[in-house]
Amino acid sequence: MCWESNIPPTVNKKLQEAQKKGRYLDPLRCGEWEFEVVDENRQFVVKLNERTCDYGIWAVSGLPCKHAMACITKKMDDVEEYVHHYLKKPAYLRTYANVIHALPDENSWPNVQYKTVLPPIIKRKASRPRLSRRRGATEQARVQRSVGSRCSKCQQTRHNSRTCKENEPVAGQRKRYQAASSSSFSATGRTQTIGHLTTGASNSSTAVMRTTTVGHIPPTRVPNYAPPGRITRVIPNL
């Protein structure tokens, strides 16, 4: 493995991301090592000589946060000097400097006079188990791939073909469409119930239909198959 510097590639990638986020910040220099950074209506005090920032990530991870990276860039210092020595190449080499002995096969392991250690008993919780793991504070959120319902007419999301507004007529076209549909009806118009008609002892009833169309058709009688007990009239659609 060949590294270009004393910073591992994984650590170098995180530093580049912090520097990219911190280039939009404008730190206020209060001294040689102290800065004040305003980020999202909050003020953070950065002390480069003490390797501290009020944001708190630098002290936990050992890597400068975006506020510290903005101060380091403004001071024009080397970022490598502000990375913890545990995250540098010499510490990595010291970790693997010793010999890691190989393990023999499990069948050749000696028998011991101890009980077999079993895993702990897992108790199922009352709530529904989680399907996804808990992500860390610095991890990106999971991208949601499902888009929900999709319209079969316009191929857009968040609605279906019944509520699609692509083929819906405009306000002016809607009026012309209603006028054309009303003129296509027959001259007899539509029938509307205007009252009830009752007869004497007879069970049969007769509905009277009156039309007011062009031509002045006189009132006519409708046979007994009309709805009993109702008076209807025909109103034209003018």
pTM of the prediction? Answer: 0.45
Would you kindly state where each structural domain of the chain is located, as residue ranges?
9-93, 186-238
Residues 19, 23, 26, CA angle at the centre, nearest 5°? 130
pLDDT tens for the chain, residues 1 to 238: 577 788 888 899 999 999 999 888 989 988 889 999 998 888 999 999 999 999 989 999 999 999 999 999 999 999 999 999 999 999 988 988 988 889 999 889 888 888 888 999 988 888 888 888 888 877 887 766 665 678 888 888 878 888 888 766 555 555 555 555 555 444 444 444 444 444 444 444 444 444 444 444 455 454 545 555 555 555 555 5
Q: Are strands 42-47 and 34-39 parallel, antiparallel or unpaired?
A: antiparallel
CA 184 centroid distance within chain: 49
168: helix, strand or coil: coil
DSSP code at position 135: P
What values do phi and psi take at 215, rounded to 5?
115, -10
DSSP code at position 5: S
Asked if residue 198 lies in contact with residue 175, where contact means CB atoms within 8 angstroms, the answer is no
Distance CA 26, CA 39 (A): 9
